Amino acid sequence: MAEEKMDFRAEDKEILVKIVKLAQAYQIKGAKGDWKEFLRVRDGKLGSSLNDPSKRSWDVLADFVKTFTAEEDVELVIRLLKWNKRSKSWQSRMKRVLDKASPKQELVLLTFQHPKFSKCYTFPSYQKGWLTTKLGKLPEASGAETMIAIDCEMVQCEDGTKEVVKVCVVNENLETLVDSLVKPSKHVVDYMTSITGVTSEDLDDVTCSLQDIQKTLKRLLKKETILVGHSLFNDLQALRVDHARVIDTAFIFRYLNKPTCYSPSLSKLCKVVLGCDLREEGKSHVCLDDAIAAMRLTLAKLELGVNDPIDMGESEVSEADLSKLYIHNIPGCISMEDLMNLFPKEYSVEIQMQYVQEFSRIKNKSSTTFAIFKSSEDANGAFEILNGILEKDSYGHPQKRVWFHKRGSKKGANINVRVRKMNVVDEEAPTSQLHGCSIDPIVTRNTSSDISNNISKYDTEETFHKQKKTKYDKNTNQENMMQNVLEKECNGCIHLEEKERLKKELEQRNAEIKSLQRIVAALTRKHGL
């Protein structure tokens, strides 16, 4: 029976690669052992295909997957196949709906076409514990769809993940459908009360679980229902809900003088589009108000025809925020001590952990933090001295990519973080996370007269030179790959917005390559290489 369900074809190679990688991560073994043992028995050839299953043909991958005998392993494969089929089906429907879309469907389509959609809305809903709603047929009559808006508050748990603590849902008439506290299933280390407004005492008599909320949402999310929210993917990830028809208010507006991927905060959108403040400055979130705000923004887009680009202006940054440096894309192998050592010892600096995003366990955890200095002058000075490659983030703001040399690590040159000055508010993190949060510093360093040399992050200047040369070669290959992707657009493989995004990214890579060329040339002259 299992073999009948696991009937693969050549076009299934992409999902087969994913299944094999999952098998490696979860240490799944079949009747012929794990992936390595299977290859050794099959043909004795290991090579690079051991770590990169995509280098094997689809039939070899399929033969390995068919050796799975454990019931839970076979179930995982079946769930992945359904997940893959559902994902492809929805993508196909979105491409067909363009010419006959209703106004609400157009907003679903706008969300789907956003350059961040595939990254943000690809959920591991093949895992157990997820609620995956049915697709159904797209309503043909305009206005036949219904909309509900949702917002959640999350708390920080002991294992570094976040869990839902409150859920609110409203309909198009702004009537409350759900307003419920939720009991987290894990031990909570930070209720983030300054943001959520929830304390441990509030949960003393709460019995509602995440599973109870999922049952409620299953009743509300019909086939024709469109789910609305701001940065909705965060809520869906925490709720463990995969619903295809979504309108994300962070994705559906266009902005003057901002890149396509720009995502303003909900508060700022309310002020600019609706002409009102979402909440008083410094006040904690009100979950119900946020759900209502997302619905009002969507209705404004539909009813008032807010189609022209919006001038969001520049965010005002307080002196307290200007004394910080924003550090992001921090891999799990980097410690707070490593981050402290980024900056010369002449500066007094605190490192604060801000929030950790949850990823599936086949991926490394990536986190963000702030380096807090005594003044904005110190922050600027530390950034200028910081040894790294100057580049631009996804919003076009200058930042530095800084590499670590971790002793004992063969891939030390590839371990890096990004550091950006706070001369602009980071829109991806709520403003309330930038100031007003009570987060204790994890590491503090007092001022020292011992000024470390910038090159001391690396063992020697020769090592530094080799690392930059490796990075230059890598980026040259990336440039060629991006150019190939852009050429495929002529065959209809990529829509126009994606093409523009790739062009901008290619320009950024070119600038980085030129910078690396100058560094390599200078070091070559210096060392006579």
Q: Which class is domain 319-457?
A: alpha beta
Q: What is the pLDDT of residue 128?
A: 87
C-alpha dihedral, 152 to 158 to 160 to 162, nearest 10°: -10
Q: What is the pLDDT of residue 138?
A: 64
Structure tokens belonging to residue 241? 């809900």
Burial 198-230 (b: 16+ CB within 10 A, else e): beeeebeeeebebeebbeebeebbeebbbbbbb
Q: What is the pLDDT of residue 491?
A: 41
- Entry field: residues in the chain: 529
For residue 428, give the nearest of 397, 383, 403, 386 by alpha carbon: 397
For residue 427, give the nearest of 230, 235, 261, 265 by alpha carbon: 265
Q: What is the pLDDT of residue 359?
A: 32
Q: How far apart are CA 64 and CA 38, in angstroms?
A: 7
- Tell whether the torsion through CA atoms of 83, 88, 92 and 95 is positive or negative: positive
Other residues' Cβ atoms within 10 Å of the Cβ of residue 366: 15
Q: What is the pLDDT of residue 207?
A: 93
Q: How far apart are CA 204 and CA 183, in angstroms?
A: 9
Would you tell me the crossing angle of helices 210-220 and 232-239 to the nearest 10 degrees?
Answer: 120
β-bridge partners, 372 = 324, 350
Q: What is the pLDDT of residue 304?
A: 75
Structure tokens belonging to residue 506? 């290619």
Q: What is the pLDDT of residue 75?
A: 85
pLDDT tens string 314-348:
666 667 778 889 898 888 778 778 888 888 888 88
Q: What is the pLDDT of residue 149?
A: 97
User: From the centroid of its chain, how far is CA 239?
Assistant: 16
Q: Rounded to two decimals, what is the model's pTM? A: 0.64
Low-confidence ranges of the chain (pLDDT < 70): 1-5, 48-49, 95-100, 136-144, 282, 306-307, 314-318, 353-366, 394-396, 406-414, 423-505, 508-509, 511-512, 514-529
Longest dimension (CA), the chain: 73
Which listed CATH number (3.30.420.10, 3.20.20.70, 3.20.20.120, 3.40.50.12780) goes with 103-134+143-303?
3.30.420.10
Q: How far apart are CA 277 and CA 271, in angstroms?
A: 5
C-alpha dihedral, 110 to 483 to 259 to 322, nearest 10°: 140
For residue 502, give the nearest of 71, 37, 12, 115 by alpha carbon: 115
